Amino acid sequence: MDLIYVWSKMLKKLRGSAIINSSIHRTSKVESGSHIVNSTMDRYSFCGYDCKIINCNIGSFCSIADGVIIGGAMHPIEWVSTSPVFYYGKDSVKKKFAEYERPADKTTTIGSDVWIGDRAIIKAGVKIADGVVIGMGSVVTKDIEPYEIWAGNPAKFIRKRFDEETIARLLELKWFNLDDEAILKYAQAIRNPEEFINKI
C-alpha cells in the first residue's frame, strides 16, 4: 500500500469533528472536518468530511456526502445594514456599533432515508421529506416532497423515485422506524420495492 496515501488519510482523520449542543445517535457517524451545531442526527445516518450543519434535525438512514452545508445563521436583510457589527453576538468582526437581537435562526428538517450529494447547500428553514435524493452541487431553497429527486442551482424537481402507489405505501410503512431485528429480517428484499413492501 502507498505510504503517502495512508499518511494523508491518517492526517485527514486526525482533524476530528466539531460538534456542540447536538445529539448524534450512537449508530451514526460524523467524519472529520465537519462542524455540527444545535442539531440532531437519528440512527444509522452519516455525514461526510468537511460538512457544516447548523440548526438541523436529521432522520434515520440518511447519507450526507462531503462538503455539504445545511442551515446557518441569516443576516437581517430588512435592516439598513446586514453587517454583524450592528447585532448581538460574537462574530468575525469584534467591533460593535449596536447589539440588537436578530430574528431567531430557522431550523432545517431532513427526513429519513435522504441522500444528499457532494457539496450541496440546503437553505435554513427548508423541509426535506423522507426518501429524497439531492444531486451533487445543488442549492436547495424550497421544501421537497417525499421520494423526489432534485438537482441544480437553484435545485429543481427532476422526477420521483417511484410511482405514486409505491410512494404512498412506503410512507405508510415508514420502514426506517422498524427495530433492527425487523430490518434485518426484510433486508434481503431491499433491492425490490414491491417485494420489500409485501414482505412487511
Q: Which residues are catalytic?
A: 75
String of DSSP letters for 34-93: -EEES-EE-TT-EE-TT-EEESEEE-SS-EE-TT-EE------TTSS---GGGBSS--SS
d(CA 16, CA 42): 20
d(CA 42, CA 61): 8
d(CA 108, CA 144): 12
The cell numbers describing 16, all together, are: 476530528
